[in-house]
Amino acid sequence: MQSQEKGINEEEKKIFGKIANTVRQLTIDAVERANSGHPGLPLGCAEIGAYLYGKALRHYPEDSKWLARDRLVLSAGHGSMWLYSLLHLSGFDLSLEEIKNFRQLHSKTPGHPEYGHTDGVEATTGPLGQGLGNAVGMALALKILGEKFNTPEYTLFDSKVFCLSSDGDMMEGVGQESSAFAAHLKLSNLILIFDSNHVTLDGPLADSGSEDTLGRYRAYGWEVFEVDGYDLDALHEIITHLRQNQERPAFILAKTVIGKGAPKKAGTSKAHGSPLGAEEAHAAKVNLGLSEEEFHIPKAVLAFFAEKLKKEKERYDEWQVLFRKWSKANPELLKDFNLMKEKVIPADLEERLWNIEMKPSLAGRKASQGVLEVLSELMPQIYGGSADLSESDMTMLKKYPLISPGHFGGRNIKFGVREFCMGTVANGLALSQMITPYVGTFLTFSDYMRNSIRLAALSKIQVIYQFTHDSIFLGEDGPTHQPIEHYASLRAIPHLHVIRPADNNEVKMAWVAALRYTKGPTAIILSRQVLPELAETKVHFKDGLGRGGYIVKKERSKPDFTLFATGSELHLALDVAEELERHGKDVRVISMPCWEIFDAQDLHYRNAVVGGDLGKRVSIEAGTCLGWHQYIGIDGIPIAMDTFGASAPASALAEEFGFQTDAILERILT
């Protein structure tokens, strides 16, 4: 079969070759100038990039957030110059000057791609496997949007999600979990290209891996293809087939040569993560027929992408006309579309949540489920699920069906026992621009999700984590399931808001904070055990939880003691305060559900709550004391856990570890 019949003519082949070598040119020059970077993947995958950005991808760089675009995620984020070169050539807002400033302070070309920092970057990637999971989340989001908004007459969403991955993505557990999950849901809009070059950073792949990767993906249930990474006819034939006939996620193993063109380092780990060096870089340029002029871009390449942009605008304009027709024909769907696109939060959200009727004593997880049920009715953008714990972490939306293989009309997602996957898929859902995801598991299992939580915080995307079973008081499951260091561990992540509400009232306001106050991810940490509703916490958001920390019991004149508490220990702190007053002591009690929000308050407010002579300062929280001394001072007394828990009923654990009124009094009065 001739190349013309396959859809790539000789003229296109020539220009794709020029584009590929331009990617190599820019990569070599940028990495050498920075004296830092990973040239191997860009040199090896240049033809794949030339084909994807030159022909396969349907996007419009002048509106890089166009909802109907194809997405491309570079999961192998270390190969960032591959992406930066192609974004610049394609017409995204990434100048040649930024390419020249690769890996320099404040440039738009950091070492690994960062969402929101560089135009055209779809996800923050680098920790291997994370981008693959993000791509699965994006594909799921597009399936959800397609089922919700496509009609027999009008198709708004039919785009594809492409992901370029490396051996590291194949090895990391998060990539394996996400791949299995994608296959289960039959995500027929996901195309994963595996850069199979048989080399890892540490040496030949054979030193650490010998699995049948194709066989593994067949076993998952993916459509599987194998191709020479430089055979664009074959790659085009596969992509064309998938555009028309894809029924499951597709895995394309592309055989490449890492560092292609470098005479001494090609095919070796020496091309992976270090500059080629002046001598090898020069030899590579000669070998590839590149220009000695730094950062040279052939005029033919610039002309090609300028012409391509015109064609992309035609497709973009056609979709805009389609959208207007769809909008006129489907006014009710349009309402939901706009609510989701704008992530609209009801103006009277706080009032609506206060009006939710709840039992006066309720577990934090149960109270949060009650809030979620109301939020799902008010906000069509809310979707969520759990890692096989929906009946225990209370994340199931009872009014809506499950999302299931090939069926995406529900609002509940069962991730299975795949916390790694769940975190990365949640990020992908958030990156869709129209979905606000929440996900749930036990707090102690947040460790499995830590990297994805960190990347959500770095990306400043809105993901809400419902972490339950928040302390030793979950009881008999014992120390393997009882979180100790987890509050401190999560609080240490910049831009993550960690909220540990004390009762129904603070749970309601925690959701207001997560949806309205915070601009990134939020972890709401909830109890398994029943907690009493406290009159002291029933205050407006702006005066209570919206301040992060606030006074729930005011001293009469000058405090002898100031008690700080979060979550299930707040009612204990109030009981301790009552007993202290019987001993003739004056006491202030402060609820501190969210340190991050409190620390963001103005100095005047913070001083009014925690400043000055507050007597003896005591923190009460059933976790490690790490971090509390910033509020209680070096001489303060932390009532905390400095060891792991034990398997026993909650009441026995409270006695064993000193979380009882008498035990606390004995400690702080001596």
Residue 6 has a pLDDT of 52
Positive or negative: CA dihedral 311, 317, 321, 326: positive
What are 394's two structure tokens? 């209370």
Phi/psi region, residue 355 (left: phi>0; alpha: psi -120 to 50; beta: rest), is alpha
Long-range CB pairs of 122-127 (<8 Å, 24+ gap) are 122/71, 122/72, 122/73, 122/431, 123/73, 123/427, 123/428, 123/431, 123/459, 124/77, 124/455, 124/458, 124/459, 125/73, 125/74, 125/75, 125/76, 125/77, 126/77, 126/78, 127/77, 127/451, 127/455
Q: pLDDT tens digits for 368-395?
A: 999 999 999 999 999 999 999 999 999 9
* CA distance linking residue 195 with residue 510, whole number of Å: 43
List, in sequence order, every residue forming a beta bridge with 193; answer none if it has no partner: 164, 252
Across the chain, mean pLDDT equals 96
Q: Is 134 helix (H, G, I), strand (E, B) or coil?
A: helix
Distances (CA, A) of 279 to 37, 100, 103, 358, 359: 17, 20, 22, 72, 74
Long-range CB pairs of 345-353 (<8 Å, 24+ gap) are 345/379, 345/515, 345/516, 346/378, 346/379, 349/378, 349/512, 349/515, 349/516, 350/509, 350/512, 350/540, 350/541, 352/378, 353/508, 353/509, 353/511, 353/512
* CA distance linking residue 505 with residue 445, whole number of Å: 26
* CA distance linking residue 174 with residue 163, whole number of Å: 15
Same fold? 349-537, 546-669: yes
Find the distance separating the first CA and the last CA of the chain, reported in whole Å. 90
Q: Is 554 helix (H, G, I), strand (E, B) or coil?
A: coil
Task: Name the residue with tokens 């007053």.
Answer: 581
Give the β-pairing of 616-620 and 530-532: unpaired
- pLDDT tier, 4 (very low <50, low <70, confident <90, very high otherwise): very low
Positive or negative: CA dihedral 421, 424, 426, 428: negative
- pLDDT tier, 596 (very low <50, low <70, confident <90, very high otherwise): very high
Question: Domain segments of the chain: what residues?
Answer: 11-313, 349-537, 546-669
Length of the chain: 670
pLDDT over 90, % of the chain? 97
The three state secondary structure string of 68-114 is CCCEEEECCHHHHHHHHHHHHHHCCCCCHHHHHCCCCCCCCCCCCCC
* CA distance linking residue 639 with residue 572, whole number of Å: 11
Contact 290, 46 (CB under 8 A): no
Global pTM value: 0.97
Best CA proximity match to 495, nearest among 467, 453, 443: 453
Q: pLDDT tens digits for 175-229?
A: 999 999 999 999 999 999 999 999 999 989 999 999 999 999 999 999 999 999 9
Q: Is 663 helix (H, G, I), strand (E, B) or coil?
A: helix
Chain centre distance of CA 52:
25
What are 222's two structure tokens? 């993916």
The predicted model gives 246-262 an average pLDDT of: 97
* CA distance linking residue 271 with residue 18, whole number of Å: 22
CATH number attached to the domain at 349-537: 3.40.50.970
Residue 402 has a pLDDT of 97
Q: Is 607 helix (H, G, I), strand (E, B) or coil?
A: helix
Helices (H), 461-503: 486-491
Catalytic residue among 350, 419, 569, 596, which?
A: 419
Long-range CB pairs of 582-585 (<8 Å, 24+ gap) are 583/665, 583/669, 585/560, 585/561
Q: pLDDT tens digits for 310-364?
A: 999 999 999 999 999 999 999 999 999 999 999 999 999 999 999 999 999 999 9
Residue 1 has a pLDDT of 25
The CATH architecture to which 546-669 belongs is 3-Layer(aba) Sandwich (3.40)
Radius of gyration of the chain (CA): 28
Whether residue 506 lies in the annotated active site:
no
* CA distance linking residue 256 with residue 42, whole number of Å: 11
CATH classification number, 11-313, choose in 3.40.50.970, 3.30.590.20, 3.30.379.10, 1.10.357.10: 3.40.50.970
25 pLDDT above the threshold of 80: yes
Residue 3 has a pLDDT of 35
What are 150's two structure tokens? 């496509």
List, in sequence order, every residue forming a beta bridge with 553; answer none if it has no partner: 589
Q: pLDDT tens digits for 613-641?
A: 999 999 999 999 999 999 999 999 999 99
What are 276's two structure tokens? 């080629």
List, in sequence order, every residue forming a beta bridge with 587; answer none if it has no partner: 561
DSSP symbol at 547 = G
* CA distance linking residue 246 with residue 239, whole number of Å: 9
Best CA proximity match to 653, nearest among 477, 442, 527: 477
* CA distance linking residue 386 with residue 441, whole number of Å: 6
Residue 2 has a pLDDT of 33
Residue 517 has a pLDDT of 86
Residue 622 has a pLDDT of 98
